[in-house]
Amino acid sequence: MKYGYKASAEQFGTRELLDYALLAERLGLDIVAVSDHFQPWRHHGGHAPLVFSWLGALAQASERITMGTSVLTPILRYHPSVVAQGFGTIDQLAPGRVFLGVGTGEAMNEVPATGTAWPGGKERRARLAEAVTLIRKLWTEDRVTFEGDYYRTDKASVYERPDVPLPIYVAAGGPLAGKLAGRIGDGVIATSGKPPELYENVLGQVAESAKAAGRDPGKFPHQIEIKVSYDTDLQAAKEACTWWAALGLSAEQKQGVDDPLELERLADEDPLIATKRFIVTDDADEVVERVAPYVDLGFSELVFHGPGNDQRRFLELFTRDVLPKLRDRWS
C-alpha cells in the first residue's frame, strides 16, 4: 500500500507547490501526483504551471518520492511525441520514480490553448489510445515513422528516453474509460466521492479488458485520488472546500465549459457544494473508516487531496494524525 499527496497545480504557483511536494516527501508520503492544467478552475487566484518544468524541478530536488501526472491529456495541446520526450527527460532526473498518468481531458484545458473544437468522448478515447501507442513506440524504437488516424511522425527519435518504458496510468471515470484503461494502460486512476457501484463497474471493465489483452489484472496498479478535508477544527475543514466548489457541479453543468470565469461563476452560486465530494472531518479514525471501502475495492495507491489554502497545515496534521492509522490498518 502506498500513500500520496495530490499537488494541485490549479490552486498554487510553481515555487509554492514545489515546496509542498517536498514537504510531503519529508513527512513520509510515497507519491506526488500533480494535476496538469492550461487553465485553472478559478480565474481569480488560480494557477497553471507547465507540468513538464514543474516535475523536472521536483525530480531534481527530491530524493525518493514517486511522481507523475494525475492526469495529463496527450491528445490536443500536447502532441504525443512531445509527451514522450518530456517524460523521458524527467525520468533522466529521477530514474525509476516517474509515471505518466493520462486521460481524455477537459475542454477548459484544450479548447482555449488550441482553438480546436472539443471532440466527443468516442473520438477522445480513440485519440488517447493512439497517443499511448505512439508514446510507447518512441520510448522503445528509433526513427519512428507513424501514420495514425490522428498523429503522425517522420523518422522521429527521442534521445532522452527511459531505460525502461515508464508505467502509463489511464484515468477512468466510467465503464468505457475503464475498458480503455485495461486495454492500453499499465495502471488505472480514479477519483473518490462517487457511488460504489460505479467503481465496481469501472474496475470490472479494467480487469476484463486487461485480461483480454493478456495481462494479469492482479498486477494492475489501482490509484485513487481521495478528497479529504481533515483539520482539528471542523469548521475550518468545511471552509477549506470553498476553493474547490467547481468539483461539486454536475457533469451536465460543467460539460463543454472552457472559461474559468464561467466555472467560477457557477461554483460560487453554492460555495460549500464541494463538501459532498470531500471527506470533511476532524476525526482521524473517520478518515480511515471512509477510506476503507476504496481499499476493499482494490485500490492500493491512495493519493490524498486536501482542498485548503494552508497546505502546510493540512500535510502536517494529516501525516501526524491520519497517516500512522492508515499504515497500521494497511501496512
Active site residues: 37, 106
Q: How many helices and strands in the chain, by DSSP H and E?
A: 13, 11
Which helix (H) or strand (E) element contains residue 136? Answer: helix 121-140
Closest CA to 290 of 280, 298, 300: 280
Q: Which three cell numbers stand for residue 139?
A: 520510448
| Segments of the chain assigned E as strands | 2-7, 31-34, 66-69, 98-102, 144-147, 152-156, 168-171, 187-191, 222-230, 279-281, 301-305
The answer to whether the beta carbons of residues 313 and 15 sit under 8 Å apart is no
3-class secondary structure, 50: coil
- In angstroms, the CA 156 to CA 162 distance is 16
The helix (H) or strand (E) run that includes residue 108 is helix 107-114
Take residue 324 and report the three cell numbers written for it.
500512522
- 230 close to 287: Cβ distance less than 8 angstroms: yes
Q: How many CB atoms lie within 10 A of CB 45?
A: 12
**Residue 208: helix, strand or coil by DSSP?**
helix
Question: What is the spatial distance between Cα 31 and Cα 70, in angstroms, rounded to a whole number?
Answer: 11
Q: With contact defined as beta carbons under 8 Å apart, do 206 and 188 qualify?
A: yes
Q: Which of 96, 286, 295 is nearest to 192 (CA)?
A: 295
Q: Read off the DSSP letter of residue 306.
A: -
